[in-house]
Structure 1
Amino acid sequence: MSDIHFGTDGWRAIIGEGFTEENLRKVVNAAALVFAEDAAKAGAAAGAPGVLYVGHDCRLDAHHFAEIAANTAANHGFRVKLTQDYCPTPTLCWSVAHDDEAVGGIMLTSSHNPAEYLGVKLRMADGGASPKEFTDRVEQAMDAIENASDGANAQSANSANVSNKVGTVAEVDLMTPYLAALRELVDTEAIRAANLRIVVDPLFGAGRAYLANLLRDMGVEVVEINNAADPTFDGLHPEPIPPWVDRGLAKVRELGYDALFINDGDADRIGAGDSRGNFVNPHRIITLITQHMVNRGETGRVVSTITASALLDRLCRKLELELISTPVGFKWIYGEMEKGGVMVGGEESGGIGLPGHVKERDGLLMALLLTEMMAQTGKDLGTLVDEMLEDLGHLEFARRGLTVSDAQMSNFRNQTIPNFAPEEVCGSRVVGEDRRDGVKFMLEGDAWVMMRPSGTEPLVRIYAEAETTDKVEALLDWAQGIVENGA
């Protein structure tokens, strides 16, 4: 059996260790077989399974690995369109969704993981995240390829010549049409007239230069930081949460600009800051975006993951919007988007998407929508957040990632998640629970605490929300004790 497995969104490994040319070919060969099977079922002509897009972020040797992926897919008969340069994941997704001949996409990225990681995300014909059923078939295809070969032939079986078909590889400009599409989605004239000033922090990732230049083209004064071509990311983790956003928060506070926008390593997520240097977490961002979409005349269901803030629930009840909760991972939100009628979907980690644009997260579009919101209201981001909290009530949120031993993880998975059922936590009564993804305890007053194994890293993640920071920290301390010492 292969030791390559897909987590919450894709497969990831350390470059030169788990992420090697050989392992990449294994993944792409298997994915190409599954894409081809589905293309055949959809009626593709024999020997012409369609177009596959291949993109990559700013990791070490990412374009080289993308070329390997493209050539491997071409040997299954696909006409492969390979990005000329680094691109955000939403760029690849949008490109796939707007090409009638495309059957899917392969994105080489490790998202928010540290710089030494690289990975593969698979995208469907509509640009959405690959569901578990699809990635399970890819893993099964990898096993079938390995099992069909004895040791002497294993290397050739995992080479790029599995199917003996010949496709093509063409390097193409994915960014120009995608960026043009983003401009059409917001009121550029209102933004131009607002004389806004914004700090942009791409965290050395695939949003580098793209968001900053988009905003400049709309008349915004922009200072961009952490924008060098540095595959080490200068030691930062490209995740738009503290402490990795501290440089940006210091810069926006120093300049007194209207907002700070931060993207993760492949720019499908967003974090933000206000002019006072306060971090604006994704819970508050998705709540603002939902309100803004309603103000724009949109309607529909709102979808969020189980770790989303109660703020969003309060807003949806106020606006009489249906709110759907899913397990962690945008692929579950994508599943709801496939059903139709979704206005906006988002997750606690900052991935927010509008299915009318593409059924995937887009950190650049979210930044533009917040910019539009500021322009149309004449208020900076901090004021918008303050007014929202005054209206909906104040809630604070935090999370931690816990590195645990094998024994602790086993006890957590096999005992705590299925069996632990306290009546109260930190003096607050438990009023509900959810065990779809780890275990979440809902407490009186809209507070909650949650513990779940990470789907992308060997960690247990703990989350908490409450009215005060002190209560949040107390809930996290309690959860950490449960994970480390047992229930």
Structure 2
Amino acid sequence: MGKLFGTDGIRGVANEVLTPELVYGIARCAGYYFTKHETNPKILIGKDTRISGDMIEAALSLGFTSVGVEVIKLGVVTTPAVAYLTKNTEAVAGVMISASHNPMEDNGIKFFSNEGFKLQDSVEDEIEELYFIKKELPYPTGEKVGIVKEDKSLQNMYLEYLKTTISNKFNGIKVGLDCANGSAYDLAPKLFEELGAQVHTIFNTPDGTNINKNCGSTHPEELAKYVVEQGLDLGFAFDGDADRLIAIDKTGAEIDGDFILAICGKHLKEQGKLPGGVVVSTVMANLGFDLACQREGLEPIKTKVGDRYVLEEMLKGGYTLGGEQSGHIIFLEHGTTGDGILTAVQLLDTLISLGQDLSDAKTILEKLPQVLINVKVNDKEKYLTSTKISSKVEEVEGKLGSTGRVLVRPSGTENLIRVMIEGKNPQEIKELAEEIASVIKTELA
């Protein structure tokens, strides 16, 4: 049987891999799965700002309505907004159309259950089975055919909820926002303005083709310059669907997920709101994060890379805070998935409560030098069977000894092999990472 779902939904180049025909078929199968035991079922659809979003939204709507589902279009919203609204309305499921931080030509679809969580593997498997075995699904007629409605007002319900998660107003604080020309372009400035901040926004003019283009959480350099030039207190950079956050302090320094987890984790622990003192992170977390946790009495638990694995560990252990260095942060008390805007308001609320600015708070963590190289390959799975690559990795690990570490892994969403090395000597780890990358290129490119 074929495979549709990856580590974060279904992704591909829009109209090449992710065609209207494919999306229509998936929507029929998913719609049937979610609604076979429901009467008057509703599914929410949100999208980011990619030019292909309208096409995929139309194909999803066609597939869902053809099996009797009522579709409610939310318009341009963030991924976590879809998750929240799916959980807190009468919807049986929600779908977000986005390829997150990927280039604009890519797109994707992420499904959420009526509890607001991304689908379990077993559910994805059942939808795939329906799709590939070509089971004859019903075609209801007459009044049983689904309809399409649009309700952009639900976006305000999400924003109003975010306000209830914090205890301080942001009056007078000068905040820079990089909206990545994506889903946050309208919602984030509106929220921060309503909370009293002086908002300065860049990359908030989406045209369908400029999402993530040299901006956002994967390219926060422009925001860093902007914060310093404008004399702002701090800045927040989101990705295309705003489920990630990278912060910038007043000096222009980048504050990634490791810092955010440490700062917020310590504060939550002091408030008695961090069960077991546990912060869930991934194997990509910097060694400096572990040292900070040890110093502050926090207990780091590590998972595989991917926010779905972080969430699984949090649910299993009853933990409330977890995330990734890349900026996927989950505050499980407030949300069911990584949420860049929620993380931004939680971080700023924490800083206000502590009476600190971000440049002071970041001293909780001192990072070891780290190098990350992304190598484009044709088949990312082949690295598992390459003895030349594994031998090179072992050789580099031998050179580093106990003073560093090596992590080589395939990307969950792109045809890339990621090579990460940490150590004491920046020049040495750069050279060693390039050596491994060179072998990967030779073997797999």
Q: Using the TM superposition, give the Cα deviation of residue 253 of structure 1 relative to its aligned residue in structure 2, in angstroms.
A: 1.8
Percent identical across equivalent pairs? 27
Q: Confirm or deny that 1:56 pairs with 2:47.
A: yes
Find the partner of 2:385 among 414, 434, 451. Answer: 414
Quote the residue 1:267 is aligned against.
242
- Relative to 1, partners in 2 of residues 1:293 and 1:466: Cα closer, same or farther, differing over 3 Å? farther
Q: Conserved in 2, the CA contact under 8 Å of 1:205 and 1:238?
A: no
Describe how 1:372-383 pairs up with structure 2 within 5 A.
372-383=349-360
1-structure distance, mates of 2:212, 2:163 = 33
Distance apart, 1:358 and its partner CA: 1.8
Shift of 1:177: 0.7
Shift of 1:332: 1.6
- Tell me the amino acid that sits aligned with residue 34 of structure 1: Y
Partner-residue secondary structure (3-state), 1:228: coil
What is the TM-score of this pair, normalised by structure 1? 0.82
Which of 140, 147, 169 in structure 1 is aligned with 2:148?
169
Query: What does 1:408-487 align with in structure 2 at a 5 Å threshold?
Result: 409=380, 411-416=382-387, 420=391, 422=394, 425=397, 427-429=399-401, 444-445=402-403, 447-467=404-424, 469-485=426-442
1:363 aligns with 2:340: yes
Determine helix, strand or coil for the equivalent of 2:196: coil
Deviations 1:87-122 (A, max 9, x none): 0000000111223x4332111111011011111011
Q: 2:61 aligns with which of 60, 70, 75?
A: 70
Q: CA deviation at 1:77?
A: 2.9
18-27 vs 266-275, which moves further: 18-27
Distance 1:65 1:394 in 2: 42
**For residue 19 of structure 1, what is the aligned residue in structure 2?**
18
Alignment partner of 1:178 is 2:151: no
Whether contact under 8 Å (1:113, 1:238) holds in the other structure is no
Change beyond 3 A, Cα 1:261–1:468: farther
* Counterpart residue number, 1:255: 230
Structure 1 residue ranges, 4+ long, deviating more than 6 angstroms after superposition:
none
Change (3 A) 1:133 1:397: farther
Letter of the aligned partner of 2:80 in structure 1?
P
Residue segments in structure 2 that go unaligned for 5+ positions in a row: none
Cα distance, 1:476 vs. partner? Answer: 2.2
The question of 1:127 aligning with 2:100 is answered no
**Alignment match of 1:106 (pick from 90, 95, 102):** 95
Q: 1: distance between equivalents of 2:73 and 2:310?
A: 27
**What secondary structure, in the 3-state scheme, does the structure 2 residue paired with 1:253 have?**
helix
Distance 1:13 1:141, change over 3 A: same
Instruction: Give the TM-score normalised by the residue count of structure 2.
Output: 0.89
Task: Give the secondary structure class of the aligned counterpart of 2:177.
Answer: strand
Give the Å deviation of 1:49. Answer: 6.8
Amino acid at match of 2:258: H
Aligned length: 438
Aligned equivalents of 1:351 and 1:26: distance in 2? 30
User: Corresponding residue for 1:136?
Assistant: 125
Residue 231 of structure 1 is matched in structure 2 by: 208
Alignment-derived partner of residue 7 in structure 1: 6
Provide the aligned C-alpha RMSD in A: 2.7
Q: Is the 8 A contact 1:283 1:348 kept in 2?
A: yes
Please say if 1:81 is aligned against 2:81: no
- Residues 1:104 and 1:475: Cα distance change in structure 2 (over 3 Å): farther
Residues 382 and 23 of structure 1, relative CA distance in 2, 3 Å threshold? same
Deviation at 1:306, TM superposition (A): 2.2
Letter of the structure 1 residue corresponding to residue 407 of structure 2: M
Matching residue of 2:284:
307
Distance in 2, matches of 1:482 and 1:236, equals 29
The SS at the match of 1:457 is coil
Alpha-carbon displacement from aligned partner over 1:386-431 (angstroms, at most 9, x marks no partner): x213xxx44233422101245xx465221359965727637321xx
* Cα 1:31–1:466 shift into 2, 3 Å: farther
Q: Is this contact kept in 1: 2:212–2:240, CA < 8 A?
A: no
Deviation at 1:162, TM superposition (A): 4.9
Structure 1 residue 482, shift from structure 2 partner: 4.2
Q: Distance in 1 between matches of 2:351 and 2:428?
A: 32
**In 2, Cα distance between equivalents of 1:306 and 1:141:** 35
C-alpha distance in 1, partners of 2:441/2:175? 42
In structure 1, stretches of 5+ residues that fail to align are: 150-156, 430-443
The 2-side partners of 1:366 and 1:26 are apart by 35
* AA at the equivalent of 1:228: T
Correspondence for 2:370:
397
Preserved contact between residue 14 and residue 52 of structure 2 (Cα < 8 Å)? no
Range with greater deviation from structure 2 (23-32 or 230-239): 230-239
